Amino acid sequence: VRAVQNVFNRYCVNLFVNNANTKGAPVEIETNPNYYHLFGKIEGRPHLNNIISDFTTINSGAIHRANGGYLIIQVTDILKDPMAWDGLKRTIQTKLAVIENIGEQYKAVPSTTVKPEPIPLDVKVILIGSQSIHHLLYNYDEDFQKLFKIKVQFDTLMERNANNLQMYAQFISSVCCREGFCHFHKSAVAKIIELGSYLADEQEKLSTRFNHVVEIIYEAAAWAEIDGASYVMADHVQKAFVEKINRANMVEEKINDKMLDNSILIDTTGQVVGQVNGLTVYNVGDHIFGFPARITARTYIGEHGVINIEREAKMSGAIHNKGVLILEGYLGGQYADDKPLSLSSSICFEQSYGGIDGDSASCAELVVLLSSIVGIPIKQNLAITGSMNQLGVVQPIGGVNQKVEGFFRVCKARGFTGDQGVIIPVQNQKNLMLPNEVVDEVIRGNFRIYTISHIDEAIELLTGLEAVTVHQKVDQKLAAMAITMKKYYQPKN
């Protein structure tokens, strides 16, 4: 019987690739691009203590199923298998799909086995990955730039126009139909769109990070089901968003608790010389939040200029160091055209035990520096964020929503006084996508958001004095310090 079966085996058909149900060019998405999944394999059958194979044991790979069409691969997945990566490049170069087991390439003594003829290949390979991986491959893999010449970048943002709003609504509907969820009420769709702008950090943009949007859709639908609602409403979307944050904001809550019990010192009332409330952003995995940070300055006669304590302690990044040097440039241009700057000033982020980077505290640092020079107190009911250049022009910063929310939470927990608020660059006004509770308190007048375009506006808001008056006082003080410095300065022999 076995002999007869072996005779008929030669007349069997091995269906290598089946495109019977394919419409148009085949599109193959390989989620596990190891060597065998990509290039196929030749299996063996045990027979009399041996392993035998024939044409019926030849299996196709993704490269064969995509022949005449497109093969889509996540680049991080294929790079985990060096054999697969080298094989893919070789296949694209030769335009031939060779079916060969990995072991055949390393055998000291070649064995007799099935050797299928190479298959002519006409396939477009699409690699999906990050900009950083593309940069590394382009610069360190000579074959990559020769084989993958067409680069397409996908933006994480899109315009908030009528067409894209319609597509956003259609996307929500498609998810509901696919998953069997109850449909979203128009108010819930509007809320999802609002969250899309929140994720984009811009009022006129929408986020294309649809995996985050889908998470909110899933959870909002679950809350609607729990409530027995026929439609997902805006309240369900809001609850889903809030609950998502609450599951990841333990560090944020701990910091807020420390501020409320004065373990972390932050003033939200009164006036203090040489002290200002800056605003920082903290990133904990998938949760980003802001909170106020106390920045202090002390000034005395000397020649050291502005001393960045974080830099001296090696806790400051390059961008923050650059921001402090810009302050020195501003001071020199504003006050030292007729006299030397005979001062030493130290600036510090108090109770900061990790690294500090970014230049978004430049405005706060300059105001606190001027305050320490002339002894003018700074209002503690306000917090400020913003970068500046050497001419005093305020520049936009990132994370403005998180920063505003951070100071808002502290003020709300301690009780509003009616004059509390934040100062932000005017360019960041378009980025404001704040929670309803913040917007409501702004409307009631309990919390304020000021926008500035020049550092003089920040000086006036934080000191309550005209900027011209402050500049005059600083100029007079620096002139007196220069005279005193000259009096005590002893030239070296």
Please report whether residue 217 resides in a domain: yes
* Residue 165 sits in the same domain as residue 136: no
Quick one: DSSP state of residue 10?
Answer: T
CATH value at residue 372: 3.30.230.10
> Which is nearest to 306 in space by CA: 295, 319, 321?
321
* Residue 360 sits in the same domain as residue 444: yes
> Which is nearest to 414 in space by CA: 294, 260, 261, 264?
260
Degrees to nearest 5, angle at CA 55 with 52 and 60: 110
| Phi, psi for residue 278 in degrees, rounded to 5 | -90, 175
* Residue 356 sits in the same domain as residue 394: yes
Please report whether residue 53 resides in a domain: yes
* Residue 388 sits in the same domain as residue 409: yes
User: Which residues does residue 280 pair with via DSSP β-bridges, in sequence order?
Assistant: 291
Distance CA 86, CA 79 (A): 9
| H or E stretch covering 298 | strand 287-300
> Which is nearest to 376 in space by CA: 466, 478, 470, 269?
470
Quick one: DSSP state of residue 49?
Answer: T
Distance CA 78, CA 39 (A): 13
pLDDT for res 6: 60
Single-letter residue type at 466? E
- Last residue of a domain, which of 97, 118, 147? 147
For residue 303, give both structure tokens. 């020649």
pLDDT for res 309: 87
Distance CA 145, CA 235 (A): 50
pLDDT for res 422: 98
pLDDT tens series, the chain, 493 aa:
455 556 666 777 778 788 888 888 999 999 999 988 998 887 766 666 666 666 677 888 899 999 999 999 999 999 999 999 999 999 999 999 888 877 666 555 556 667 788 889 999 999 999 999 999 999 999 899 899 999 998 888 999 999 999 999 999 999 999 999 999 999 999 999 999 999 998 999 999 989 999 999 999 999 999 999 999 999 999 999 999 999 988 999 999 999 999 899 999 999 999 999 999 998 887 789 999 999 999 999 988 888 888 888 888 889 999 999 999 999 999 998 888 888 889 999 998 887 888 889 999 999 999 999 999 999 999 999 999 999 999 999 999 999 999 999 999 999 999 999 999 999 999 999 998 899 999 999 999 999 999 999 999 999 999 999 999 999 999 999 988 888 877 655 5
Please report whether residue 152 resides in a domain: no
Q: Are 379 and 338 contacting, i.e. CB atoms less than 8 angstroms apart?
A: no
Give the Cβ contact number of residue 403 at 10 Å.
26
**What residue has token string 């005017």?**
426
* Residue 443 sits in the same domain as residue 355: yes
| Phi, psi for residue 32 in degrees, rounded to 5 | -130, 75
pLDDT tens per residue, range 432-479 = 999 889 999 999 999 999 999 999 999 999 999 999 999 999 999 999
DSSP strand E in 311-443: where? Answer: 344-349, 377-379, 382-384, 387-388, 394-395, 420-425
* Residue 266 sits in the same domain as residue 205: no
Please report whether residue 321 resides in a domain: yes
- Last residue of a domain, which of 181, 216, 246? 246
**Domain total of the chain:** 3
- Last residue of a domain, which of 220, 246, 272? 246
pLDDT tens per residue, range 120-139 = 999 999 999 999 999 999 99
Q: Where are the alpha helices (DSSP H) in 181-308?
A: 186-200, 210-227, 234-246, 250-260
Helix axes 186-200, 234-246, angle to 10 degrees: 40
Q: Are 347 and 312 contacting, i.e. CB atoms less than 8 angstroms apart?
A: no
| Phi, psi for residue 276 in degrees, rounded to 5 | -140, 155
* Residue 170 sits in the same domain as residue 139: no
CATH value at residue 26: 3.40.50.300
- Note the maximum CA span of the chain: 116
For residue 70, give both structure tokens. 């497109």
Distance CA 224, CA 126 (A): 40
Q: Where are the alpha helices (DSSP H) in 274-361?
A: 309-312, 318-335
* Residue 185 sits in the same domain as residue 137: no
User: Which residues does residue 439 pair with via DSSP β-bridges, in sequence order?
Assistant: none
> Which is nearest to 335 in space by CA: 438, 430, 474?
474
* Residue 163 sits in the same domain as residue 208: yes
Distance CA 402, CA 280 (A): 9
| H or E stretch covering 73 | strand 70-74
Contacts of 8 (CB under 8 A, 6+ apart): none
* Residue 136 sits in the same domain as residue 164: no
Domain that holds residue 175: 157-246
The alpha carbons of the chain give a radius of gyration, in whole angstroms, of: 33
Please report whether residue 408 resides in a domain: yes
DSSP helix/strand/coil, 97: strand
**What residue has token string 């003033």?**
267
Please report whether residue 310 resides in a domain: yes
* Residue 89 sits in the same domain as residue 173: no
Please report whether residue 493 resides in a domain: no
Single-letter residue type at 325? L
How far CA 181 is from CA of 66, 175, 194, 220, 234, in Å, comes to: 34, 8, 21, 10, 15
Please report whether residue 228 resides in a domain: yes
How far CA 110 is from CA of 43, 58, 100, 107, 179, in Å, comes to: 17, 19, 13, 6, 53
CATH value at residue 168: 1.10.8.60
* Residue 240 sits in the same domain as residue 261: no
Helix axes 467-488, 362-374, angle to 10 degrees: 60
DSSP letter for each residue of 250-282 = HHHHHHHHHHHTTSS----SSEEETEEEEEEEE
